[in-house]
């Protein structure tokens, strides 16, 4: 009688073709400047717990039609990461779990709760994640980002050129027409990529 293999979060995400993305959002108010430094700083905060959304290739961003609150993403521009099976994912929830310095109202990441976090979501879900590996930047176009400049703060429009300039050394991903794409900086074009071309085996 064969025993069931242990639940693998990475395998689950791969089977769902779901990327983990930490987005710049209006909730970035605690960051001194917001975009683009907040995501640049997030690359170095792997020991801290941050809020992520799962993003699949048919998902839409806040400014791609419909009310922004009904989008599958918490923001337009975010950091894509890879995780370990053990210790990286702290909690999961199919909606906003209210994660913060005091903790999270999400649930432990077992097979049923991870499945529900995607199957039951109606807008964006929330995974609380630590000890991750940055893979690149994800963008939903058209995009707006949260910034703090001087005494003012709020969301502003940004275009692809702004994002490419903000993260000159990063791979840039998006979802277009139901397929993940990567922007080729040399060719100046988007090309389809598989989940496996974004997240290593």
Give the containing element (helix H, strand E) for 182: strand 179-184
Q: Which of 148, 143, 177 is nearest to 35 (CA)?
A: 148
Q: For residue 104, what pLDDT is reported?
A: 66
Measured CA distances, 15 to 11, 64, 77, 151 (Å): 6, 26, 24, 45
The pLDDT value given to residue 5: 83
Whole-model pTM above 0.95? no
Q: What phi and psi values does residue 116 have, to the nearest 5 degrees?
A: -65, -30
Residue numbers in the chain where pLDDT is lower than 70: 1-2, 97-104
What is the structure's pLDDT at 103?
Answer: 60
pLDDT in tens, 104-151: 678 999 999 999 999 999 999 999 999 999 999 999 999 999 999 877
Q: Give yes or no for a contact between 92 and 113, defined as CB atoms under 8 angstroms apart.
A: yes
Q: Residue 90 has which token pair?
A: 């702290």
Side-chain-side CA neighbours of 152 within 13 Å: the count stands at 4
Six-digit token string for 155: 């969301």
- Cβ proximity of 40 and 76 under 8 Å: no
- Residue 4: its pLDDT value, please? 76
What pLDDT was estimated at residue 47?
83
């Amino acid at each position: 009688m064969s025993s069931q293999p242990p639940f693998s979060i990475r395998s689950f995400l791969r089977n769902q073709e779901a990327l983990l993305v930490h987005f710049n959002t209006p909730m970035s108010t605690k960051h001194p400047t917001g975009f683009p430094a907040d995501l640049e700083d997030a690359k170095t905060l792997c020991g801290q717990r941050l809020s992520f959304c799962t993003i699949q290739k048919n998902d839409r961003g806040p400014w791609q039609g419909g009310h922004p609150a009904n989008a599958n993403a918490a923001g337009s521009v975010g950091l894509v990461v890879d995780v370990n099976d053990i210790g990286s994912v702290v909690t999961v929830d199919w909606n906003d779990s209210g994660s913060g310095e005091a903790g999270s109202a999400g649930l432990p990441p077992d097979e049923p709760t991870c499945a529900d976090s995607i199957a039951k979501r109606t807008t964006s879900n929330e995974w609380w994640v630590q000890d991750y590996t940055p893979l690149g930047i994800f963008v939903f176009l058209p995009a707006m980002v949260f910034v703090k400049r001087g005494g003012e703060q709020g969301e502003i429009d940004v275009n692809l050129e702004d994002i490419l300039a903000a993260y000159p050394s990063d791979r840039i991903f998006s979802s277009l027409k139901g397929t993940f794409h990567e922007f080729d900086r040399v060719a100046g074009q988007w090309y389809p990529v598989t989940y496996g071309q974004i997240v290593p085996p």
